Chain A
Amino acid sequence: MAIRERMSGNEAMAVAMKQINPDVVAAFPITPSTEVPQYFSNFVADGVVDTEFVAVESEHSAMSACVGAQAAGGRAMTATSANGLALMWEILYIAACSRLPIVMACVNRTLSGPLNIHNDHSDSMGARDSGWVQLYSENNQEAYDNMLMANRIGEHPDVMLPVMVCQDGFITSHAIENIELVEDDKVKAFVGEYNPKDYLLNKANPISVGPLDLQAHCFEHKRQQAEAMKNAKKVILEVSEEFAKMTGRKYGLFEEYKTEDAEVAVVILNSTAGTAKYVIDQYRAEGKKIGLIKPRVFRPFPVDELTAALSKFKAVAVMDKADSFNDAGGPLFTEVTSAMFAKGVFGPKVINYIYGLGGRDVRSTDIEVVFNELLKIAETGTVESVYNYLGVRE
């Protein structure tokens, strides 16, 4: 029987890490992810995990130590937010190209500047091209479930890539909600042992990792990395199916909420999807045909599936909790629209809203503004403004 509990998103991630019992956790404090290594340190101090906790002196060293640990043959995990993730930047790319399936709990927070501890997605969105698989989570349950699946996805021989599990700082990381935990033994069986083919600690077959890799081979290695990311999509679906058999909780590449007959839809990552669901229920009661698409997998980007799902709407608003400062739209918007263009999906009118930067509250009334605009576009066929800010004083 599943264990019914109540806990914050951070604790849920830490509990998942406890159940996975990795070899090394290397982490550095930063709000709002600090609680994850705090909880985990207690597990270490109480002897309930076999993990070496490496209390590094920076996030750069956290990711560097994870690279060393994973290359050595262990499972390595970390947690961070915002500037911490930015300080890891250089090593994120090295972890991915070295094909080291490290798992990171990324508790999304505004990347400085200005300094701000609250939630938006400017941290993980900046890391979107670093070669990590990125999974997004609406609430504590999804953050926990994604963490349990992350090792299986990253460590699959066809993938061998690091995985970042994202949830919204404070909004879900610190909010205590009900959760269903999986029993320890079931997690252990599901996650399994990490037995890499080659690793530094294997005396019988020593290896060198991290070469100078010039024109003769580097391009082929990058191609293999691209192939691994392509393979990740299939593996994510397989692992999610197996997870559903164990827990009954089904996950795909994205969630569709009340889209069957919807004329308009919003595309939203993480916790604000919950607010949108509330608004959808209200509007549906009034007979308005609206829905939601909530991407779970941002890397790899599910081009075929997402564009097929979006093709049925008259109007779509892609919501970005990060701006690209390109005078064109946020990262999710530009990826969605370029995917639609490439796939010849020209039916829906697509607009972009930048919302909630620096942790600005996103209320149901804000989401109503978006749906009202979409319904107007669906009726008139006219888009007045593509790139918009939502809920900002101007």
Chain B
Amino acid sequence: MAYNLKEVAKKPERFTGGHRMCAGCGAPVVVRQILRALKPEDHLVAGSATGCLEVSSFLYPYTSWKDSFIHNAFENSGATISGAEAAYLAMKRKGKINQEGETKFIAFGGDGGTYDIGLQSLSGAMERGHDMVYVCYDNGAYMNTGIQRSSATPKYADTTTSPAGKAIPGKQQWRKDLTEVMANHHIPYVAQTAPIGNLKDLYEKSEKAIYTKGPAFLNVLAPCPRGWQYNTPDLMDISKLAVETCFWPLYEVVDGKYIINYKPKNKLPVRDFLKPQGRFKHLFKAGNEYMIEEIQAEVDRRWEALLKLAGEEA
């Protein structure tokens, strides 16, 4: 059935309002849409690493999660959900699960809990082949603790542990390409997506990830108004610019085959993505043009490499 946002939005809500995520935050938009991809008859066991999503959606005694949910610690969302999935298999074998529909397993983590401290736990869970999805909502820094740099933070971004100072102009390293790292785990399904437009790309990849047997990984861009310093109503525009500049290409790797889901007809310069964000403000000062040029060159290099992997020409 063709995707239709109006129809999809009519599905019963699995992630309720009333949570404490910031206005203009990408993460709850992403989570709601991913959960909409579940079949109504299926039960979900969701997990989250410690982070904004967890502390804002499950503050005792309130929970936003209508399905079952578990938070364990910062670095072990992958391992925790893998344990729940293992229990499901054993309990089914023993005849102890007698309910309609399937139970699906989704672990969430921010980029700090996924690219950095939770990388080992994620890698282990994916390699072991659990039937689960790991979703990284990537906002490019440790936002929950107050905007510290992570290995997902873009080069030159101003964060509280890579401040744009007089001697050092923000983060000095390129961001890790986690989607590629996960693709090289050779698991059945890996995708990179973002909340843009009518959220079709996010929905369809979520559905594939959830209903592909075995491990799947989704890397979802989730802009953060506090860390990125944009005007909160501009969430969807910022996401779109990330995609239109090829800073964040939409693609998937299905059983090892690369598919680029969107190729901008007019690839926008990366400065269009950087400009509305306060974390890159210093890049637009006179004398700092080289930083934007460097970033543009790196975006182009990675985009071309991706095109090559997908067997396409630029």
B67-A206 in contact (CB<8A): yes
Cβ–Cβ contact A212 & B60, under 8 A: yes
Give CA–CA (A61, B103) in the complex, Å: 22
Which chain B residues in 74-107 approach chain A with CB under 8 Å? Answer: 75-76, 78-91, 93-94, 96-97, 99-101, 103
A208 to B65, CA, bound (A): 7
Chain A: how many interface residues by the 8 Å CB criterion?
46
- Once the chains are docked, how many angstroms separate the CA of A67 from the CA of B72? 8
- Measured CB to CB, the nearest residue on chain A to B101 is A203
Beta-carbon contact of B60 and A68 below 8 Å? no
Question: Chain A interface mostly helix, strand, loop or mixed?
Answer: mixed
* Contact call A67/B90, Cβ cutoff below 8 A: no
**In the bound complex, CA of A91 to CA of B166 (Å):** 42
Q: Does B148 contact A (CB under 8 A)?
A: no
Whether the Cβ atoms of A217 and B60 lie closer than 8 Å is yes
Instruction: Establish whether residues B90 and A50, one from each chain, have CB atoms under 8 Å apart when the complex forms.
Output: yes
Considering residues A56, A62, A216, A218, which has the most beta carbons from chain B within 10 angstroms of its beta carbon? A56
Q: A64-B72, A65-B79 are in contact. Are A213 and B84 (CB under 8 A)?
A: no
B120 near A67 (CB under 8 angstroms)?
Answer: no
Partner pick for B73 among A62, A64, A200, CB 8 A cutoff? A64
Contact B58 A68 (CB under 8 A): no
**Interface pair B73/A201, CB less than 8 Å apart:** no
A68 in contact with B84 (CB, 8 Å):
yes
Inter-chain contact A209/B71, CB cutoff 8 Å: yes
Which residue of the partner chain B has the closest CB to A202?
Answer: B68
Structural contact, B43 and A65, CB atoms closer than 8 A: no
Chain A 61-84 interface mask (CB, 8 Å, partner B; 1/0): 110111111111110100000000
The reply to whether A52 and B86 contact each other, CB–CB distance below 8 Å, is: yes
Contacts of A91 in B (CB 8 A): 72-73, 76
> Which one, B70, B90, B99, contacts A24 given CB within 8 A?
B90
Q: Could you list 14 A-B pairs, sorted by A, with CB under 8 Å?
A: A26-B83, A26-B86, A58-B120, A64-B80, A65-B83, A67-B72, A68-B72, A68-B82, A203-B100, A206-B43, A206-B69, A210-B71, A212-B54, A218-B60
| Interface residue ranges, B against A (CB under 8 Å) | 43, 45, 47, 54-55, 58-61, 63, 65-73, 75-76, 78-91, 93-94, 96-97, 99-101, 103, 120-121, 123-125, 127-128
The 4 A-B residue pairs whose C-beta atoms are closest, nearest first, are A68-B83, A65-B83, A74-B87, A57-B124
